[in-house]
Structure 1
């Protein structure tokens, strides 16, 4: 009979690194999470900072009294995050080896470092120990607690969640994906999600650091922050901008993904972003980070984690942040309060996790778009980024509370059921100015407006994931259903027109706008879907074919804010198929291809059309992609070629009929690299070449033109060097380049290319028994003024030179 043991019971029975037994249906593999050192040994004080593993093992031998043996060639280029505190040698060594790909054996007082056991049929086993019977080449069905290890240097992970398909190693994923780690988030001193993704060559931010909102351009298409998922569910992440304090991983999937994740609430189709919440680790966490951002913004972040129970089944992770003060542009300021609580339970057949998140953000004089002048008027030079054409009385203020619960239950060794439910309450108020550029001399005008709104979201999913064999082929089927319901209310009060100038902003008195006391309900959105997929694989996963489809239904209604009467209704559905193939000719190489679709709510013909009021079915965006991935243990790279066709709509000027008949076709090549190229030297970045072309436009007027906000070239490269002359000192530099972008569909307006250069330093050391890490970064070192983006037919300005400093202490 198949067996499953909890971490505690299994670890008491298994003290080696691998136990292989044979049962009727296939092998059982056990990957021990603790080395073969006696856990009861008395604690000792260890102070080993992050550094190359070879150097760290020398320190471990000196501080533990054990003799350490290792083949130096096997650990060349491998780094460890270090260890500190009063621990048994077993605990210290376990923490030291975590994420390195190595484990240990002991004979007497001699510790031998050896490569960790390979993954169980392609699935990395991490977290609390489990023994699971599987069919050969089948991955574990565990999702909760199954966190993939990181590449050398800890910036990106080797795998992650791929929506409906569950957790996958990158080489087994037939899509272009990247998973940024919490270590990278900390080392970037990322305040918000946009600060993390600024390092991605396929992504460009619409708004600069400190703008109070995030929005992205992925493969040339807009991805709204409110289409970012949290732990696999839409409708839970902060609506405008996501603080990073409770985030363990940022998972990025490039391209349409309706089968994998369902239709995004706002119809984003360029890619998918998922936030993975932090969980308590095996060792206690007591971490405090103090930060400074120019001009005078200070912050304090506490991170505490514990595991409880005989087998450490229960985990608690609490993060809390307070940040307030002036930011770099003139008169701008931001106040942020955020809390993230993560709980998890790891049982023998049942696993459960829960999250509660709160975020309050008040951003002054930073948010908004600048709309260009009429077609044909050239876009003038960018204004001084240190200045600010937004009045100091403008602000965005959000108050959000969300929570979710996710569970898994193993019906049998090869079948696991899963379910999740979550809710979010979002309240927003603002006084803002969306400026219009009136001429090429910098004259701008706006109508100030007070906007208050709310949105209440309820979301859930459930399904079953399994594995079985038919002859020589192995199957990984999954069936899932999901729902998202959102109710929204809004009230806007407008003022009188005001004027200013980009280059010499006029000080404008704050307008008198009536306070809003009641926010009427104006809309509802109900999105539901059911999806089925199967991955069919040969022995050893050398060939993997994934096929699936999702049936999606979208129902929306809008209401009059005064009478409450329903003014419009939309009820449509669509089925989106997908097929993907992965071939593994070598252990370190994968070649893949996919056809997948994206889905967006279809439009309604405007009142000016002869078919006014006609409701169209959801937009289907189609992607074809081929690529190759290589994983050389400490270093990886991905090359992808893609074509995405997105329909668009217009009113025919001759017939006045509104129709879905236009098209934007983006073709591109992406090359991304990550990991350690040589000992102590890491690279992260790549290049994206994209050609966005308009076809089938109204009357053919703009056929062949370049699509707005699609740069032909995007280049990112971040390098880190661990200096040999000062242990613990790391120098880093980043270069970000974006080519010019057209602003309008007629290609009469363009913003120029821009290049940003950043410099940084990091120093890890010990203060007594406490590890400390100092970080310093200067963004936009040359203080260049530049237009950042032309997305959504609006213009945004890059951030000025910005200094960031932080110190992190572990107690």
Structure 2
């Protein structure tokens, strides 16, 4: 479900209309921007839908605006999240052509994305407030987020080991900066009968607002569009204390329990002999699910930090985080056999879990040496990840079926599943970067991360079965930037990265094998500009990555390289007082090289061409009303490394509207969206050798009151 792209900057007319209805002048906006109408009024004249002046976290590079970051980035704000009402991660980036959705909202694949043709790594490609957590099977409480940031490409220097697709950073809502409280409740509805209730409360208490708090709570429950059921309870807390003028302490916690039944199973083409996929089916079908199939997840995250201003130019940060995620799955994999849609049904049932902890200290500041100004960041980090997998989990064939008929297979296996410590990964790192202003226009960035890496695999008895370690791993980055104007940046950058060796999944012949890390390199040249009424970005990139795929014996192996090179461009413009239009495109050429097989083939999962567009209209005759549409075409996508099966291209069109008004003295906002307006049926690439039916036409509604 690709949600409607409504940028905050489009609400200039809505703000004027609100004034016409005698809305009180905006109070000082909170850090979160949760007072939606005042926040829009403040930023509309100075921001576009690309938000290039918005800060984006860049790990060891510190925090800097998108405009000053020499890599391709995307920021989706809280206002846009409210308008899109996402149910999975693909909805969040619905209008970014570099991002392709690979997920389904109601199974373990809800966060699967490809960025520039590369799938994000669920082990290391996701952060919450810059802190690591394992995202497999986890659907975030998007209504509790301040924004979602995407750093595209390699992130080795910024965050340590990670796949080259990029990093998604979920930024939770924080206590307001001012003493003006934040208070809102909203109720939502999703096709075919899912209801949500959400409350957002924040403020400051104590002398001079010394202590800040932000509390978000959500309940979601109902019948899903694929004839399943979902129940979710989420709560997040953020606290801060201004201990002195220079010392600030923070604490955060997020807890979510989510249960989904009747989930849609995955479709594997590993045994499929056809040259084209079978006739498409609707993602709303219940034929690929069953009442015994379920996904139960639990996510916990706890963070603490100290920030101390050493002086006017230097800040010291110390932080700690601990995350824990667990899954209880009973999920089918349908091994497609022929064009008629016949399959064998293999069921996985068991439990899995992951824990990540991070200690990090860093210092960021400015110094001047002769004529040069330096922005310095340096620090140290210790990260430990442990993975728990099922000691008595089940994976095997339980029956047969056809994708066009209801699945009647059931599995009533053992319910006393338990886990064992399967593997652990430890990273000890030192990092430093220096951004040198050579002149008012020219600057150069250099950074390096030094990592000691150790990875172990264990048997069910606790015996060590495999070990990989390497000390002194260097992952550098360099960039050259030129300011054509204060609002326009040209850049060229280079970065290297290593991604942690994965544990081979259950569907492969070498299930449970621990693979070694893969090295990648990225070259990028780009431009970003943010003007008063329009903005634009463009980037040329080349990424060289170690290749990994399943060979003809269904053994998941590392072999050769995969090459990704292409161009991405985007722009947004305000036309007059009522219109905002924008577009985004990506063209990419991919191939396998220097391997034992697949040389010259397109890389699996990389669509060759994607184009997206959006338009929003603020209705002058109905103050506070905005209507809009967006569309995205995704070109055909190679499903297999052997390059002999494609998921055809498809076009999605979405419509939506929002209406902001006042009722009984309170700000009230109504939102509605229809996704996949044409009810298009299409095959969506999910993972190498896997496809899934695309989401059906869906309706979402929401009503919110600020008090």
Q: Same fold (TM over 0.5)?
A: yes
Q: Could you say what secondary structure the match of 1:194 adopts?
A: helix
Instruction: Name the structure, 1 or 2, with higher relative contact order (CA <8 Å, separation 6+).
Output: 2
| Residue 499 of structure 1 pairs with residue 396 of structure 2 | no
| Residue 55 of structure 1 pairs with residue 31 of structure 2 | no
Partner of 1:522: 422
CA 1:674/1:260 → structure 2, altered by over 3 Å: closer, same or farther? Answer: farther
Partner of 2:508: none
Contact 2:132 2:323 survives alignment (8 Å): no
**TM alignment of 1:250-399, pairs within 5 A:** 250-264=148-162, 268-281=163-176, 282=178, 283-329=180-226, 331-346=227-242, 347-374=244-271, 376-378=273-275, 379-388=277-286, 389-399=288-298
Q: Which has the larger radius of gyration?
A: 1
Partner of 1:581: 480
Partner of 1:199: 95
User: Please, what is the CA RMSD of the aligned residues?
Assistant: 3.1
Extract unaligned runs of 5+ from structure 1: 1-48, 65-81, 89-93, 104-114, 116-149, 607-612
Contact 1:215 1:223 survives alignment (8 Å): yes
Q: What is the aligned counterpart of 2:346 among 447, 450, 454?
A: 447
User: Using the alignment, how far apart are the partners of 2:402 and 2:551 within structure 1?
Assistant: 37
How many residue pairs match? The answer is 675
Q: Could you say what secondary structure the match of 1:467 adopts?
A: strand
Contact 1:316 1:343 survives alignment (8 Å): yes
CA 1:675/1:452 → structure 2, altered by over 3 Å: closer, same or farther? Answer: farther
Contact 1:154 1:183 survives alignment (8 Å): no
User: Using the alignment, how far apart are the partners of 1:496 and 1:615 within structure 2?
Assistant: 25
Q: CA deviation at 1:208?
A: 3.0
Partner of 1:9: none
User: Using the alignment, how far apart are the partners of 2:626 and 2:130 within structure 1?
Assistant: 34
Q: What TM-score do you get using the length of structure 1 for normalisation?
A: 0.78
Q: What is the aligned counterpart of 1:474 among 364, 373, 376?
A: 373
Q: What is the aligned counterpart of 1:531 among 412, 417, 431?
A: 431
Partner of 1:106: none
Partner of 2:144: 246
User: Using the alignment, how far apart are the partners of 1:289 and 1:170 within structure 2?
Assistant: 31
Q: Deviations over 1:27-49 (max 9, x none)?
A: xxxxxxxxxxxxxxxxxxxxxx9
Q: What is the aligned counterpart of 1:724 among 599, 620, 638?
A: 620
**TM alignment of 1:311-710, pairs within 5 A:** 311-329=208-226, 331-346=227-242, 347-374=244-271, 376-378=273-275, 379-388=277-286, 389-491=288-390, 492-494=393-395, 496-508=397-409, 510-540=410-440, 542-561=441-460, 563-573=461-471, 574-602=473-501, 618-648=517-547, 662-674=560-572, 676-698=574-596, 701-710=597-606
Partner of 1:77: none
Extract unaligned runs of 5+ from structure 2: 1-9, 30-34, 506-511
Q: Could you say what secondary structure the match of 1:249 adopts?
A: strand
User: Using the alignment, how far apart are the partners of 1:303 and 1:770 within structure 2?
Assistant: 15
User: Using the alignment, how far apart are the partners of 1:773 and 1:154 within structure 2?
Assistant: 23
Partner of 2:113: 216
Q: CA deviation at 1:621?
A: 0.6
Q: CA deviation at 1:794?
A: 1.0
For structure 1, which segment, 668-677 or 634-643, has the greater mean C-alpha deviation from structure 2 after superposition? 668-677
User: Using the alignment, how far apart are the partners of 2:532 and 2:232 within structure 1?
Assistant: 39
CA 1:192/1:743 → structure 2, altered by over 3 Å: closer, same or farther? Answer: closer
Q: CA deviation at 1:484?
A: 1.8
Q: Could you say what secondary structure the match of 2:208 adopts?
A: coil
CA 1:239/1:382 → structure 2, altered by over 3 Å: closer, same or farther? Answer: closer
Q: Deviations over 1:764-800 (max 9, x none)?
A: 1111101111111111111111111143321112111
Q: Could you say what secondary structure the match of 1:384 adopts?
A: coil
Q: CA deviation at 1:703?
A: 2.1
Q: Could you say what secondary structure the match of 1:520 adopts?
A: strand
Contact 2:48 2:530 survives alignment (8 Å): no
CA 1:799/1:737 → structure 2, altered by over 3 Å: closer, same or farther? Answer: same
CA 1:637/1:210 → structure 2, altered by over 3 Å: closer, same or farther? Answer: farther
Partner of 1:133: none
Contact 2:18 2:624 survives alignment (8 Å): no
